[in-house]
Each structure stands twice: as C-alpha cells, then as structure tokens.
C-alpha cells in the first residue's frame, strides 16, 4: 500500500510538470509509433534484420527533418544574429590624433557628428533641415519645415470650444494663445531636430543630391535610415542605459538622450537595383563568398535638455543639448549559429543513415554469397 501511494504521488507531481510530462509524452509516442513499426517488421523479417531496417528508417527520417530545420530555420535553433557593442567613443571620432581619447581605427573616416549652421562646410555635417530648405521641393518644405500656425490655432480653438465652460481643461484668452505658442515651439523643435537618418527614410533623394553637390561626405560609411537601423539603435540604447555613463541614473534630468544618426560599413554587398541581372549576379557573388565580411554599425547619440512634463499633456519633444559631446556606439554584427544545430543533426543522421544502409548492403551480399554457395554444393 505504501509503494502504491508513493507511485501515485510521483504521478501526481509529474502531471503538473509541463517539462516532465512533455518529455514522457514524446518518449511514449516514439515508443508506440516507432516501436509498432519495428515490431511488425521484426515479425516478418526477423529480429536482427527488422531492427536494422527500423534503425535505417529512423535515421533517414531524422535526416529529412534536420534538412527542413536547416533550410527554413525552424526546429532546433542556435544563437540568433545580434549586434555586439565594441566601443563607445566620446566626441568627434574623425580626430585620429586625439591622444587623450583615441577612437577605434575604423572610426577614423566617420563624419564629424557636429552639424553646420549652413551648407558647404566640409569640417562638419550639414543639418537635415538645411538640406530640406535648400534642395527640397515646396511640398517637402511644407511637410518637413514649415509650421502652419493657423492650422495649430484652429485645432486648439476647436478642441477648447467643444469643452463645457465648467471643464477645467478649457482655456480662454491669453492661456489659449500660450497653448498655441507651446505647440508651435514643439513643432519647431521637431523640425530643427530632424536627423539625416530621418531624412534618409523620408526623402532619400535629397541626401543623394547633397552628396552629388559635395555637401555630404560619408567616406566608406553608408548612412542608414532610422527604420533600417532600428535593431542596432535598440541595442545601443540598452547598452548606454546599463553602462556607467550617467544614462541609467535615477535622476531624470541626466538620463535622457536623443538618437542622432546611424552609419553602416562592411558586410556583403547590397543590390544596386532590382533588375534581373543585378539580382542574379548579387546572389551568385554573395553565395560564393567563403566567409561573411565584418559588418559594423555606428549609432550616435547626444544628451537631451530636460523638460518638465506637464500633467495631462503629451511629453514634450526631446531637444539636443548642443553643449554635450556626441557618443558614438560602435557595434559589430555577430551572425550567431542559428542553423548550426539543424545542420549538425543532418550530418550526424546522414552518416548513421549511410552506415545502416552499408550494413544492409553488406548483409545482402553475404546472404547472396551463401545462397550461391549452397546452390553450387547442391
């Protein structure tokens, strides 16, 4: 009775443990499915031959399964590709002779992160808003630079006129004008804070025109849009918050920063266009590379000016503190081993499958030899 109670308790514990229960279900399923096939084959061909046939079938099935894992990236998976932070440089990384704060060698030709007030200065980057004002069309200027004060005032008036006179949110007179001015100032901050990565996503043709005019020189680096560098920006932001750089402090006035631009260098060459020949040639060239070239990304951030949030209003836009230095976060792409487990399982299963087939073939030859020998004797 005591033994039965102990077994019952063990089964009760297992029934509530998902991992143990799942493992038992898999083992039981394999025993029933594979074992039933092995039993049927063994009763027809004998124990040894039936076992060898069943083992060959199992390894052939695992070979096919592992190949599907490796091709589609499912099943048993390894480490996924990630960005790994290599260094954080403070200040202008293009100054290579800075003995006090030497940048990594790969950052020597990175553009100076300080923006210029006007276009044409080769010692600094042109501001995105000046590129829009100079090279943009009237529609682009109206969308990215112009502040429609009348439209803002109309929205404010429509909102507050719809409120009851007893509603504490309703503003009148000078308070309403102050609200309009606040929204105008926030829109101005957003316009002035437009980065080159933002402009890359909104109007890439303006950046191409700026490069053709010689106003924007990137060297060996490629400017990335905010969307394309989203994963790298997330990794850099998390690293800065966790690192001892003052961004992870509890003081709200010192732990905020603004992401500026993102640059990329290295990796496999990208397609120049979507033409058939370009797609085919790029696929052949990249597939023929024995190793993946190192892929680097730099995300630049700068501390922002603290703005006291107002209850009941949206958070104010972050404004860059120009007195603070720019931080350049250098990251390298680690491709991981995402498909390696599936490939290893496929190789191991393939070798065992071939070995079992060789054993079956050897056995067939031996049986034929013995049968032919018996026929000669007879």
| Contact by Cβ (8 Å): 53, 360 | yes
∠ CA 121-125-130, rounded to 5° = 85
CA–CA dist 150, 127 (Å, integer): 27
Contacts of 209 (CB under 8 A, 6+ apart): 135
Give the closest residue to 329 by CA, choosing from 230, 244, 235: 235
Tens digit of each residue's pLDDT, the chain (378 residues): 677 777 667 666 655 566 777 778 888 888 888 888 888 998 998 889 999 999 999 999 999 999 999 999 888 899 999 999 999 888 877 665 565 566 778 888 888 888 877 777 777 888 899 999 889 998 998 888 888 899 999 999 998 889 888 888 888 889 899 989 989 998 998 888 899 999 999 999 999 999 888 888 888 899 999 999 999 999 999 998 887 777 755 555 556 889 999 999 988 877 777 788 888 888 888 877 878 888 999 999 998 887 777 777 777 888 888 888 889 999 999 998 999 999 999 999 999 999 999 999 999 999 899 888 876 544
CA–CA dist 133, 131 (Å, integer): 5
Give the closest residue to 58 by CA, choosing from 349, 362, 351: 349
CA–CA dist 349, 302 (Å, integer): 53
Residue 179, both tokens = 């609200």
Q: Which helix (H) or strand (E) holds 176?
A: helix 174-192
Give the pTM.
0.77
| Whole-number Cα distances in Å, 321 to 14, 193, 260, 318 | 59, 11, 12, 9
Per-residue pLDDT tens for 24-75?
A: 888 888 888 888 888 899 899 888 999 999 999 999 999 999 999 999 988 8
Three-state SS at 116: strand
CA–CA dist 328, 330 (Å, integer): 6
């Amino acid at each position: 009775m005591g033994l039965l109670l102990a077994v019952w308790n063990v089964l009760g514990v297992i029934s509530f443990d998902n991992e143990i229960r799942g493992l038992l279900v898999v083992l039981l399923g394999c025993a029933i499915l594979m074992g039933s096939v092995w039993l049927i084959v063994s009763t027809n061909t004998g124990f040894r031959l039936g076992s060898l046939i069943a083992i060959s079938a199992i390894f052939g099935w695992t070979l096919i399964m592992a190949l599907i894992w490796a091709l589609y990236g499912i099943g048993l998976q390894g480490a996924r590709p990630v960005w790994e932070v290599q260094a954080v440089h403070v200040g202008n990384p293009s100054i290579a002779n800075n003995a006090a704060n030497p940048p990594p060698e790969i950052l020597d030709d990175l553009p100076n992160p300080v923006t210029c007030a006007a276009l044409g200065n080769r010692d600094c980057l042109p501001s995105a808003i000046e590129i829009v004002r100079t090279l943009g069309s009237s529609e682009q200027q109206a969308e990215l630079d112009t502040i429609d004060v009348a439209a803002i005032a109309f929205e404010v008036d429509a909102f507050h006129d719809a409120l009851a006179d007893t509603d504490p949110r309703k503003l009148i007179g000078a308070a309403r004008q102050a609200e309009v001015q606040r929204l105008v100032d926030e829109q101005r901050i957003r316009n002035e804070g437009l980065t080159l990565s933002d402009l890359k996503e909104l109007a890439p043709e303006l950046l191409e025109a700026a490069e053709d005019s010689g106003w924007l020189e990137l060297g060996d680096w490629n400017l990335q849009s905010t969307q394309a560098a989203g994963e790298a920006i997330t990794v850099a932001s998390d690293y800065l918050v966790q690192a001892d750089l003052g961004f992870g402090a509890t003081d709200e006035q010192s732990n905020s920063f603004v992401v500026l631009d993102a640059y990329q260098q290295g990796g496999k060459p990208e397609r120049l266009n979507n033409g058939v020949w370009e797609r085919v040639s790029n696929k052949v060239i990249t597939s023929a590379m024995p190793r993946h070239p190192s892929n680097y990304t730099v995300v630049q951030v700068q501390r922002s000016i603290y703005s006291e949030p107002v209850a009941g209003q949206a958070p104010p836009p972050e404004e860059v503190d120009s007195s603070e230095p720019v931080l350049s976060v250098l990251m390298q792409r680690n491709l991981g081993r995402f498909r390696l487990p599936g490939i290893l399982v496929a190789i191991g299963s393939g070798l065992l499958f071939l070995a079992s087939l060789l054993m079956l073939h050897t056995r067939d030859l031996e049986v034929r030899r013995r049968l032919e020998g018996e026929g000669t004797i007879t």
